[in-house]
Amino acid sequence: MPSIIITGAGRGIGQATAKLFLDNGWHVGLIGRNQDILAATASGYDRALVLPCDVTDEAAVDASFDKAIENWGRIDTLFNNAGVSVFGARPDEISVADWRRCIDINLTGSFICGRAAFARMRAQDPQGGRIINNGSVSAYVPRWGSSPYTASKHAITGLTRSFSLDGRPFNIACGQIDIGNALTDMAQKMTTGMPQADGNMAVEAVMDVSNVATSVMHMASLPLDANVQFMTVMATTMPYIGRG
C-alpha cells in the first residue's frame, strides 16, 4: 500500500488532497500545527497518521518523518503543500516580519520537509520516492502587491529543479504543481473582489479544490521512471494568461 506525507493537511488544498488519497487506499501522514484540526481530517480513516509539527522546526519535522517510517516502513511521496500568503500591499507597506514569516514557511519549510523526505527515500530499500512541491501561478506571473509570496514561489521552482536533478542517482523524482484560484477558505475573497494591477477591484473565476487533489493524485501515481516536472491547474478564465 503506497504512502504519502502531506504538509498543511488540516485545511484547504492539503485537506482535500489527504482525503482523496485516503479514499484511494493510501497511507497518509498529515502534517500541520494544529493537532485537533488534523485529527478532524483523519477521523474515520484507519490509514491516517496525525503528525502535528511546525514545518519550520527541523527537529520536529525529522521526528514526524521517523514516525511515518516506523509505521509504514517507507515513504513513497511527499506533497510539500504548507504555505501562507501575503497579498495586497506594495513593498514599502509590507513589514520585514511578514516577509520573513512568508519565506520561512513557504520556502524554508519546504526545504526542511523536502530534505527530510530526500534522506529517507535515499536510505530506504528499494531506494527512491517522489516529492511534489506546491508552487503557484505566482511562480510565473505575480499578483499585484505580493512580493514576499511571489518571491517564495519563484524560489520553489528553483528548489524543485535542484531536487529533481539531485535525486536522479537515487530514483527520487521531484515535480511541481502550480495552482491558480482553487476555492478554499483562503480564496473566498476572490469571489467578492481582488485588487488588480490597474487599481480596480475585480471578481475572479475560481475552481473546485478537488481539481487540485486529483491532479496531485495523477502526479503521485506515476511510476518513478515518469515524472510530471511542472503542472499548472487553474480556473480557466482567471487573470493569469495576460494578467493585468
Cell of 31: 502534517
Distance CA 173, CA 226 (A): 8
Are 206 and 182 in contact by the 8 Å Cβ rule? The answer is: yes
110: left (phi over 0), alpha (psi -120 to 50) or beta: alpha
Q: Which of 51, 55, 58 is nearest to 84 (CA)?
A: 55
Residue the block writes with cell 500541520:
32
Distance CA 170, CA 123 (A): 9
Quick check: is 140 catalytic?
Answer: no
Are 55 and 31 in contact by the 8 Å Cβ rule? The answer is: yes
**Which residues does residue 194 pair with via DSSP β-bridges, in sequence order?**
202
Residue the block writes with cell 494591477:
197
Which residue in the list 45, 140, 149, 240 is annotated as catalytic? 149
Any idea which residues carry the catalytic annotation? Answer: 149
